Structures are given as structure tokens and as C-alpha cells.
Amino acid sequence: MTSPAVPLSLLLLFAILSNTFADPDPLQDTCVADLSSGVTINGFVCKPSNNVSANDFFFDGLKNPGLINNSLGSLVTAANVLKIPGLNTLGVSLARVDYAPGGVNPPHTHPRATEIVFVLEGELEVGFITTANILITRTIMVGEVFTFPKGLVHFQINNGVGNASVLAAFNSQLPGTQAIALTLFAASPPVPDNVLAKAFQIGTMEVDNIKSGLAPKK
């Protein structure tokens, strides 16, 4: 028995609704996030309008290079809704990434945003991997721009002899970041060793060694 054909009118309705159900535009001039509220919604509740000030829309944390003191040799300074409450509902944020020579922003994803970077200093090798497992990569220099599609694994590395930095823009107030190594080997509670051993075709002892290297330093 064959299934009945879907009426054209129903297909058109699905197409209309699929656009309608995208993130809505703001319904008011501002909705400054009340980060102290205990109310949980998809975003943040708004502060009372009589409690809003210019400081809710201001952040000066990107004007200077970040202090890099980690083994990766890179530092991300975010300018998202957690730093700028006035970004709530506006669907945009920034970050500054600074790299020491040899520094890497390791493979990671942003589940809620596309990213575009503008090189402020130095040069970087950048790339992302498609779902067909194809690496798209090139070197970018001062004044140049590169885009990382939403949700795809991507990275940047400074192969130069001097420092490098980029300004990154996102089409989300809170893009989220999942660093692949940390996500898999430093989750809490931990991903079972036998799952990781099978996935990476290594032994459980090697898994434990990787986990110990990525564990938070006390």
C-alpha cells in the first residue's frame, strides 16, 4: 500500500512555518539581561527599564592583548552577553583571541553561531573540517578575514615568530564553545575509557594518560 501524496498546500505551509519558527526579532528596544535572576528561560530575563544604564552596553576588555599563561599559547577574551548584558536578544557578540608564537586555539566548535575573524596582528593558519571530513584551510594575515561555519570543528595556529591576534564576531549573544579534547577527555562525569579507547583505537592506559594531562590543575 502506497502512502498518499502530501498536498502542495501543506508543503507550502511547512515552508512558511519553518521560517516563522526561527529566532524572533526583539520585541522591544532593549532587554538588558538580569544575570542575577533565578528564572530560567532560553536566554535571560530583562532588567527593569528604570534600572538600565549605558554600562549595560559597554565593555573595554578587548582593547588590550590578553595575558597568555597557558600551555596552548592562546587566550580568548569574550565580549558576550555575560560581559555585556545589553546584548541579550540581539544575536551578536565578539571575542578577541591572542596567540603567542606557536600558540594554538585548538579544534573546537560553536554550536550556536557562525564565526568570522579579522586579523589584527601577525598571521595565522586557520581551518575547518566539513561533515564530509574535508579540511578547508589557508593562511590569513593582517587585515584579512576568514569564516568558520556554524557548528563545524575549526582551529587557528600561529606559526609565525611574533605574536598574533584576531577579532572574532558571532551571530549569537552566547555562541558556546566545545573544545574537542576537553569535551571528550575532561568531561564530568567522565566519558567511559572503553568508549574513548574504541573511538580513537588506542588503549585504556593511553586514555588515562590523556585525561590526566587535561585534568584541571589544583
In a domain, 56, yes or no: yes
SS3 category, 121: strand
76/145 same-domain check = yes
pLDDT for 22 equals 46
Does 105 count as an annotated binding residue?
yes
Task: Annotate 134-175 with DSSP letters as a single string.
Answer: -EEEEEEETT-EEEE-TT--EEEE--SSS-EEEEEEESSSS-
In a domain, 93, yes or no: yes
Total count of domains within the chain: 2
In a domain, 20, yes or no: no
139/165 same-domain check = yes
What average pLDDT does the chain have? 90
- Domain harbouring 145, CATH code: 2.60.120.10
In a domain, 147, yes or no: yes
Task: Collect all residues with Cβ–Cβ distance below 8 Å to 175 and sequence separation of at least 6.
Answer: 80, 93, 110, 111, 112, 113, 115
Does 144 count as an annotated binding residue?
no
DSSP 8-state assignment for residue 126: E
Grid cell digits, residue 138: 589557508
192/182 same-domain check = no
- The pTM score is 0.85
77/97 same-domain check = yes
119/197 same-domain check = no
Tell me the residue range of the domain where 79 lies.
49-186
pLDDT for 25 equals 75
196/210 same-domain check = yes
Does 159 count as an annotated binding residue?
no
Grid cell digits, residue 135: 579540511
Does 115 count as an annotated binding residue?
yes
153/191 same-domain check = no
Does 163 count as an annotated binding residue?
no
Dist. CA 119–CA 142, nearest whole Å: 5
pLDDT in tens, 24-49: 678 888 999 999 999 988 889 999 99
